[in-house]
Amino acid sequence: MFQDFLSLLFPEICHACDQTLARGERYICTECNVKLPYTDLHLHGATELNYLQQRFWGKAPVRFAFSYLHFRSKGRVQRVLHKLKYKGAQELGEHLGRLYGTLLAEHGYAAHFDLVIPVPLHRLKLRRRGYNQSDGFAKGLAEALQIAWSSKVLERVIDTDTQTKKSRLDRWQNVEQVFVVKQAEEVSGKRVLLVDDVLTTGATLEACAHALLQSGCSEVSVTTIAAA
Ligand SMILES: [Zn+2]
């Protein structure tokens, strides 16, 4: 009753289309749930049909590469990513993580991972934003896959945003030094599922994968909310 009254005063809106949610809908409306551009990459596993997998060939040994959605610079996906990153919608990240994690678990992938690790923000950026937009997605995935997740294992020691004025070559050389593993004992011998919000070139995930593998992690897979 009180909840109904509240939702009348402050209707919850869909994070993908900004329309008012109907009773029983959470975070994303039924229409958007149907229309979001899903990649369905989990259906292809680690084969040549998985275009995301191919992007890591010759760069980093990645066991599986998945993304929940196709990246779109406009429309539903853009709105979802924007709210996740700039509007404090951390629960939305968890919700998407649980949905995707459930899907991955249904297709037998839970047995392939031991630990979920989100790509970290630099501590100054984390302080400014207040949260890491990839943490929620990592947490939701881990919950659905019934494995652990940790935001303490990996650290971003260089703020790459301050590197953008440098030449491309310099940046490429720097990227390998951007991430360090703080707790090698936590990843040693484990199969890690590395998580980020968006994948564009894959350079960030690649750098994280190298850092993890150098620290004794046995295998790295990657997944994002959206991939270009
Ligand atoms: Zn919607």
Distance 4 CA to ligand 1 centre (A): 20
| Secondary structure (DSSP) of 65-81 | EEEEEE--SSSHHHHHH
Question: What are the extents of the domains in the chain?
Answer: 1-35, 37-227
37-227: which CATH topology? Rossmann fold (3.40.50)
CA–CA separation, 202 vs 125, rounded Å? 20
Distance 78 CA to ligand 1 centre (A): 12
Question: In residues, how long is the chain?
Answer: 228
Tell me what pLDDT residue 45 has.
85
Distance 30 CA to ligand 1 centre (A): 7
| Secondary structure (DSSP) of 40-58 | -GGGT-SSTT-HHHHTTTT
Q: Report strand pairing: 179-181 vs 115-118.
A: unpaired
Distance 21 CA to ligand 1 centre (A): 8
Work out the burial of residue 40: count CB atoms within 10 Å of its CB; fewer than 13 is exposed, 13-18 middle, 19 or more buried: exposed
Tell me what pLDDT residue 7 has.
60
Q: Which residues of 89-121 are buried (b: 16+ CB within 10 A; e: fewer)?
A: bbebbbbbbbbbbbbbbeeebeebbbbbbbbbb
Distance 83 CA to ligand 1 centre (A): 13
Q: Report strand pairing: 115-118 vs 148-149.
A: parallel
Summarize pLDDT for 11-53 with one digit per residue, the tens. 789 999 999 999 999 999 999 999 999 999 999 888 888 999 9
Distance 173 CA to ligand 1 centre (A): 42
Token look-up 């649980």 returns 98
For 15, the token pair is: 């994070």
Is the pLDDT at 118 greater than 60, yes or no? Answer: yes
Is the pLDDT at 185 greater than 90, yes or no? Answer: yes
Distances (CA, A) of 60 to 24, 165, 168, 173: 43, 26, 20, 15
Distance 172 CA to ligand 1 centre (A): 39
For 128, the token pair is: 């400014």
CA angle 201, 228, 49 (to 5 degrees): 95
Is the pLDDT at 2 greater than 90, yes or no? Answer: no
Summarize pLDDT for 66-88 with one digit per residue, the tens. 999 999 889 999 999 999 999 88
CA–CA separation, 142 vs 115, rounded Å? 8
Contact 46, 79 (CB under 8 A): no
Summarize pLDDT for 206-228 with one digit per residue, the tens. 999 999 999 999 999 999 999 99
Is the pLDDT at 4 greater than 80, yes or no? Answer: no
Tell me what pLDDT residue 202 has.
92
Tell me what pLDDT residue 163 has.
54
Distance 226 CA to ligand 1 centre (A): 17
Picking from 54, 74, 225, the residue whose alpha carbon sits closest to that of residue 138 is 225
Distance 202 CA to ligand 1 centre (A): 29
Tell me what pLDDT residue 136 has.
96
